[in-house]
Amino acid sequence: MQNTKTRTLVLISLFAALTAVGAFIKIPTPVVPFTLQFFFCAFSGLLLGAKAAFYSQLLYIFIGLAGLPVFTGGGGLMYIFQPTFGYLIGFAFCACIIGRFMDKAENLHFLSLFAVIVLGLLVVYVFGVLHLYLILNYYLAKDVSLVQSLWIGFLPYITFDVLQSVVIAYIARRVLPLLRKSGYIVEPSPSVHH
């Protein structure tokens, strides 16, 4: 039991660190840079399950807000007012959604993995674009419509992220059954059919 707890804490810390690393693997663009944060966020859900994956992303956010420069644009409490902060909140919920699927999924088909990863991705964009819209309008006093916010914070990136989702689902389909078989990640409890 103690070993399992220790391993979970190590994995939570590891994925918080990997998401931070993903922030520095980036292609700069005017507002929202291309990064590999979503890649590591999705894998936290695939490997850790809902609760631990959620905690890993919350830990990443907490470390950044505490002042360590782990976000794409630095760190500190005022980062909440950055137009891109909503995407970080979205990562936590994305990881949790993917993790919840993994907690229950007995068969890991490519299409079901891809579908849940894209669902998690859309959650990231809902939080991200909404926060972007609110900050641009009410904090930076720019007159930007919700449609314009989608043009700024969604349309330029969605193709890249869907392609990432294909890669993530492909890797997961190959690797997760092996990890389950070897005991590195827990098999879901079989569902009871009445």
Helix, strand or coil, per DSSP, at residue 145: coil
Q: How many domains are contained in the chain? A: 1
Whether 53 maps to a domain, the answer reads yes
Whether 142 maps to a domain, the answer reads yes
Whether 189 maps to a domain, the answer reads no
Query: For 164-174, how does the pLDDT look when each residue is reduced to its tens digit (9 = 90+)?
Result: 999 999 999 99
Containing 98, the helix (H) or strand (E) segment is helix 85-104
The DSSP line for 2-67 is HHHHHHHHHHHHHHHHHHHHHHHSEE--SSS-EESHHHHHHHHHHHH-HHHHHHHHHHHHHHHHTT
Query: For 139-163, how does the pLDDT look when each residue is reduced to its tens digit (9 = 90+)?
Result: 999 999 999 999 999 999 999 999 9
How confident is the model at residue 183, as a pLDDT?
Answer: 80
Give the residue, 27 or 39, on which the prediction is more confident: 39
What CATH number did the domain enclosing 74 receive?
Answer: 1.10.1760.20
Whether 193 maps to a domain, the answer reads no
Instruction: Work out the pLDDT band at 191, boundaries 50, 70, 90.
Output: low
How confident is the model at residue 75, as a pLDDT?
Answer: 95
How confident is the model at residue 1, as a pLDDT?
Answer: 57
Query: For 63-116, how does the pLDDT look when each residue is reduced to its tens digit (9 = 90+)?
Result: 999 999 999 889 999 999 999 999 999 999 999 999 999 999 988 999 999 999
- For residues 119 and 188, is the Cβ–Cβ distance under 8 A? no
Beta-strand relationship, 34-35 and 26-27: antiparallel
What is the average pLDDT across 11-29?
Answer: 90
- Provide the whole-model pTM: 0.91
Q: Which domain holds residue 30?
A: 2-182
Whether 187 maps to a domain, the answer reads no
pLDDT at 15 over 60: yes
Query: For 32-61, how does the pLDDT look when each residue is reduced to its tens digit (9 = 90+)?
Result: 777 899 999 999 999 999 999 999 999 999
How confident is the model at residue 192, as a pLDDT?
Answer: 43
Whether 39 maps to a domain, the answer reads yes
What is the average pLDDT across 3-14?
Answer: 91
Strand partners, 89: none
Whether 170 maps to a domain, the answer reads yes
Whether 190 maps to a domain, the answer reads no
